[in-house]
Structure 1
Amino acid sequence: LQKVMDNVKNKPHLLTKGHDFLAYQVFDAIVDDFFPIIEKLDDEIDEVEEKLFKTTPSQKTIQRLFQLKRQVVDVRRIIWPMRDVLNVLARRDYDYINPKTSIYFRDVYDHLLRLADMTETLRELVTNAMEGYLSITSNNLNYIMKRLTALTLILMLPTLVASAYGMNVILPLATEEFAFWEIITIMLIVTLPTLYYFKKNNWL
């Protein structure tokens, strides 16, 4: 509004064009101010996307992504209702607007439609970035779970053998001279094939 007031001070004759022309100037200034906001949001979304998919994102980057989503939603909530208002003002049959001034409102309306499309694109970009991040996180978690499962199974087999021979009961090989090495051999026999299987299937 300050921009409009300064413009009127510098060009007092604008007041003679009527209240509808002054309203046009207000809407035009409001709509024009949204373009740098949209461009800044677009640049920040690109920057966050690059950090998400090229490096391990920090908690600050994730928080910024959610903040950007909220900001895009807020801008969208402001812009979309304005379309209906400007659409009415741009109609030549609207009694309160001079037909000559309605042409200016049509121009602002066209700009607003561009803004609406841009905000919709930004919303899709943010949504895609969030879905991509969640997908990567899910894949990483699945990979970690696979490795933990494989390691658990590999360690479980020799642990079972060691636990069995740790009990205070007489078991096969327990009383033999080379029982220790024989038990170690058994552990390797049951462990190595399992290790090979998981390596072959990229679980480790």
Structure 2
Amino acid sequence: MITTTVYNSEKGLFSISGDTLTKWDYENQDIVWTDIHDVTSEETSRLLKDTFQFHPLAIEDSYKYIRDHAVHHPKIDDFEKYLFIVFNGIQADESGKKYSIFSLSCFLGKNFLVTIHNEKGENTISKNIKNYISESAFKKGPDFILNLILDEIVDRYYPVLDHIEAEIDTVESRIFKEMPSNRNLLSILNLKKELIKLRRISSYQKEILYKLSRRETDLISLEESVYYRNVYDHLVRVADTAESYRDYVSGILDSYLSVVNNKMNEVMKFLTIIATIMLPLTLITGIFGMNFHTIPFLQSEFGFYISIILMIIVATVMLGWFRYKKWL
């Protein structure tokens, strides 16, 4: 689906179809935002190649990852008349339990913004910022529209982090209350894996927002650089939170392994005591089981009971000794 919104100082804010856009004039006074959601049609190709005349390498990058539903390494390229930005967003449910990463490619010019993204299902970007899209927003320029989009994307990280925090608390309490199990270990490893992924994505994208907030290009106005700095601060907080959670989960993993080792040591201790007690009992039964004619009590009717009593006495003495030495 392709949506094009135009702001004209005389006509105001209105939508047009992509077919009505011809070769783009970079000095045009109108402000245009073209949003392309999961589309690889001829119309998309015409808009990118013929209408806006973007660089083939930038088009290839944006197209490849949209088509394959893949996550692109975040990047920002300056083509003088426009910026090409690749950002990764999160598409999550309200609880933050289930989420997926999608790729957002942006072409930002003086008077236009083209966004291409590949969320599965609905167009979450248009849905989440539609309340902010107004004439006043377009008057501030396409850099302000892009700021709204990036701010909304970064804010979507927080529900996921909140859910992960709740999962960490649950797993932490569970490993000390339950017997060690593969379920607990898998939960810890999955949490660590998710946090590493979030940390990696957010860390890579900090550089992009840092450059935008520092106005390393004239396409970002001085007024809007403040807003980009705010989004940058949010992303730094996301990255730092993911990093601290990852360290915490690593500590939980160490605690879990310590619990497992303690349980194993207790089992080995118990088995060692049993084996130690059985050793003299085995010796006694071995002696009485030797094939000689002059073994004491061999012909006695109480021989069996005497051997049993002897073994009980030996086992009792050994248990008493273990308790005295506080090995039990």
- For residues 22-171 of structure 1, the aligned pairs below 5 Å read 22-56=145-179, 58-170=181-293
Which stretches in structure 1 are left out of the alignment for 5+ residues? none
- State how far apart, in whole Å, the 2-side matches of 1:137 and 1:89 are: 49
Q: Pick 1 or 2: higher relative contact order, CA cutoff 8 A, min separation 6.
A: 1
Match of 1:6 in 2: 130
Aligned pair in 2 of structure 1 residues 142, 131: CA closer, same or farther (>3 Å)? same
Does residue 194 (structure 1) correspond to residue 318 (structure 2)? The answer is yes
- For residues 172-187 of structure 1, the aligned pairs below 5 Å read 172-175=295-298, 177=300, 178-187=302-311
8 Å contact kept, 2:129–2:152: no
Quick check: which one's helix share is greater? 1
Per-residue CA distance 1:25-80 (angstroms, 9 max, x = gap): 12101111111111111011111111111333554343222222211111111111
Per-residue CA distance 1:122-163 (angstroms, 9 max, x = gap): 101211111111101100100110110000110121121112
Aligned pair in 2 of structure 1 residues 55, 73: CA closer, same or farther (>3 Å)? same
Deviates more, 1:67-76 or 1:101-110: 67-76
- State how far apart, in whole Å, the 1-side matches of 2:297 and 2:258 are: 51
Aligned pair in 2 of structure 1 residues 130, 146: CA closer, same or farther (>3 Å)? same
> How far does residue 100 in structure 1 lie from its aligned partner after superposition?
1.3
Percent identity over the alignment is 34
8 Å contact kept, 2:129–2:148: no
> How far does residue 108 in structure 1 lie from its aligned partner after superposition?
0.5
8 Å contact kept, 1:3–1:29: no
Q: Which amino acid aligns with 1:95?
A: D
8 Å contact kept, 2:180–2:260: no
> How far does residue 2 in structure 1 lie from its aligned partner after superposition?
2.5
Aligned pair in 2 of structure 1 residues 129, 161: CA closer, same or farther (>3 Å)? same
Quick check: which one's strand share is greater? 2
8 Å contact kept, 2:147–2:227: yes
> How far does residue 181 in structure 1 lie from its aligned partner after superposition?
4.2
- State how far apart, in whole Å, the 1-side matches of 2:294 and 2:201 are: 79
Deviates more, 1:57-66 or 1:41-50: 57-66
Residue 143 of structure 2: which of 10, 13, 20 is its match? 20
1:95 counterpart SS class = coil
- State how far apart, in whole Å, the 2-side matches of 1:175 and 1:55 are: 52
Q: Which amino acid aligns with 1:180?
A: F
> How far does residue 197 in structure 1 lie from its aligned partner after superposition?
2.3
8 Å contact kept, 2:180–2:259: no
> How far does residue 186 in structure 1 lie from its aligned partner after superposition?
3.6
> How far does residue 196 in structure 1 lie from its aligned partner after superposition?
1.5
Q: Which amino acid aligns with 2:307?
A: I
2:156 counterpart SS class = helix
Per-residue CA distance 1:94-115 (angstroms, 9 max, x = gap): 3331111111000011111111
> How far does residue 185 in structure 1 lie from its aligned partner after superposition?
4.4
- Give aligned pairs, total: 203
- State how far apart, in whole Å, the 1-side matches of 2:179 and 2:307 are: 44
> How far does residue 183 in structure 1 lie from its aligned partner after superposition?
3.0
- State how far apart, in whole Å, the 2-side matches of 1:106 and 1:80 are: 15
